[in-house]
Structure 1
Amino acid sequence: MTRQATPERAVRNWGMTLPFQDRSLAESRALVEELPGLGYTDVWSAEVSGVDGFVPLALTAQWAPEVRLGTAIVPVSTRGPGLLAMSAATLADLAPGRFVLGIGSSSPAIVERWNAGTFAKPYARTRDTLRFLRRALAGEKVTERYETFEISGFRLEKAPVEPPRIVLAALRPRMLRLAAEEADGAITNWLSPEDVRRVRAEIGPDTELIARLFVCVSEDADRVRALARRMLAAYLTVPVYAAFHEWLGRGEALRPMREAWAAGDRQAALKAIPDEVVDALVVHGDAATCRARIREYVANGLDTPVLAPLPGGEVPLEQAVRDLAPGA
């Protein structure tokens, strides 16, 4: 039986992830243009090994000028601080008052193996980048020795009239507290509605909490679980996500998966993920059930659900985007 969200907390934001998983960015314009009329308030990009985090939002600024735009997230160690400030200033100029810069430490695979960078002191690098960006995007000339890098005389040629809000990817208490104390919000990922309460307790009631929610509109639970297990294994074996779920209390449930993955037995790792973990972390069912589940996240303290519809359900992804809209 679907649990209904409590009515105390109204849905204010309802986001969508771009690009869509079933089409290229170049093919996405028509569906992006539909989003505001469907009730979507936000479009958030991602940056792993496909599109970058900024170009999709630059296009969305023209295609759907009503929506808020956000990066969720761009890594702090794959660009220099100055380049990151320039990219953020460009988006802030294209979408004044509507751009949110989401940054985070990312992972060793993305930073080191894929981008030839150095993944060191992730908390300090994120903190230092946040502090630099605050000053740079305000138009200051920055000369500062931070713990993880040094800046000498950087100033944007044209600072944005309205500096963007900056939010942090945060999975555990220390980074969550940094997000609450020095940033404008926190972004998290791969959590259940019940987990939202624990995350919210770390950041207090006034910090915006954003989360990407993976959603598959399908009543074939076995099919969805097979798809989701591949995604979960890829993520939850990454040390930062493994530690996150230890903190959330899933350490023992996920231990067989981690052990099989470490031994190189990928198939055993997939099979070791319990159904209840998949069902907790991936939203699935018919569209009405999915919308109700998303509202559970909101009822428990999530301000901005950012939907990432997965292909493979009974309806085409384009229709799923429409069916998952808040007013559908």
Structure 2
Amino acid sequence: MQIGLAVGDVRGPATLEAVVDQVRAAADAGFATAWSSQALGWDALTTIAGAGAAVPDIAVGTAVVPVPQRHPMVLATQALTVQAAVAGRLTLGVGAGVGVMVSGMFGLPTDRPVRRMREYLTVLGPLLRGESVHHHGETLTAVGAVTIPGGVSAPSVLVAAMGPRMVRLAGELADGTVTWMTGPKALGEHIVPAITEAAADAGRQAPRVVAGLPVCVTDTADDVRARIAEQFALAAQVPEYRATLDREGAAGPQDVAIVGTETGVAQALTRFRDAGVTEFMAAPYGTTDEQNRTVDLLAELAR
């Protein structure tokens, strides 16, 4: 199991220069991938384009870009531009978005998320390969092609998937999945077997399974978990995460986050490897000192 490092907003407010420094530090420490999330701050793709161009020695990815706000022709253009900027090192992670945010902030429909994602991926894949599309579907219309000179390759595409139908879709039409706030039980018993079977049925290669969680190496675990519970409270309430937390037997994000001493964190990570996770995306959590201690351990484990 490889270990990647989350950079940017998920670790707390940071200037663009600071995010580039985080990516450079991740590369120097030997992490597999630097992952940028789309939140309410920096644009994930633009950030990773700048940081990835400045730091050439690490793979980069988005985890994830919500797709309802971006037509697939727009996203394909953005993704291929980033792919060119980072010399083919991009993994494009996409997701349906949190429903209450998609509808409440943007006024966009959130019904039939699996149907919408199926149409989206059906169009996005060919566009990323430089092919023309002529799609008039139930939820999406897309006609045309994206032309990027220079023979830019299509990035690997991962889909944020936790529910059974979305997991199977990710195995069928994408290169794998990337999860957030999902523990080893839900991954090992539900997500990994289902996506692996779906990929095999579709004649695709074994899927990538990237699992993301806050990680904090600390001697005051109860205090850190209390802070995580407060900061990520939304995840305990919305259905997209609530169902997965229930499968794990977790009351909230504080129960699936990896928090503890160096020994405890290392032991926790082995459970994700044993569950079939191919890359762990660690989001260092806490104060600067806590994050530095966490990154030091993770870098040792990554080596």
Same fold (TM over 0.5): yes
State yes or no: 1:186 paired with 2:186: no
Give SS of 1:204's match. helix
Whichever residue aligns with residue 195 of structure 2, its letter is I
Equivalent positions of 1:62-211 (< 5 A) are 62-152=53-143, 154-158=144-148, 161-198=152-189, 199-204=191-196, 206-211=206-211
Offset from partner CA, 1:263-305 (integer Å, 9 cap, x none): xxxxxxxxxx6xxx734x0111123432332232112211110
Aligned-CA RMSD value: 2.2
Map of 1:278 onto structure 2: 254
Contact 1:287 1:323 in 2 (8 A): yes
1:33 is aligned, of 24, 28, 36, to 24
Deviation at 1:229, TM superposition (A): 1.5
Partner Cα distance (1:219, 1:174) in 2:
40
Give SS of 1:143's match. strand
Give SS of 1:84's match. helix
Over 3 Å counting, the alpha-carbon distance change for 1:322 and 1:68 in structure 2 is same
Contact 1:18 1:56 in 2 (8 A): no
Whichever residue aligns with residue 158 of structure 1, its letter is I
Contact 1:22 1:311 in 2 (8 A): no
Give SS of 1:14's match. strand
Contact 2:36 2:62 in 1 (8 A): yes
Give SS of 1:308's match. strand
Contact 1:91 1:99 in 2 (8 A): yes
Partner Cα distance (2:211, 2:188) in 1:
13
User: Which of structures 1 and 2 has the larger relative contact order (alpha carbons within 8 angstroms, sep 6+)?
Assistant: 1
Unpaired stretches in structure 1, ≥5 consecutive residues: 1-10, 255-272
How many residue pairs were aligned?
Answer: 290
State yes or no: 1:222 paired with 2:222: yes
Q: Identity across aligned pairs (percent)?
A: 28
Equivalent positions of 1:33-52 (< 5 A) are 33-52=24-43
Whichever residue aligns with residue 43 of structure 2, its letter is D
Whichever residue aligns with residue 305 of structure 1, its letter is F
Partner Cα distance (1:283, 1:68) in 2:
24
Map of 2:203 onto structure 1: none
State yes or no: 1:295 paired with 2:270: yes
1:304 is aligned, of 271, 276, 279, to 279
Whichever residue aligns with residue 138 of structure 1, its letter is R
Question: Which protein is bigger by CA-based radius of gyration?
Answer: 1
Contact 2:19 2:51 in 1 (8 A): no
Unpaired stretches in structure 2, ≥5 consecutive residues: 198-205
Give SS of 2:53's match. helix
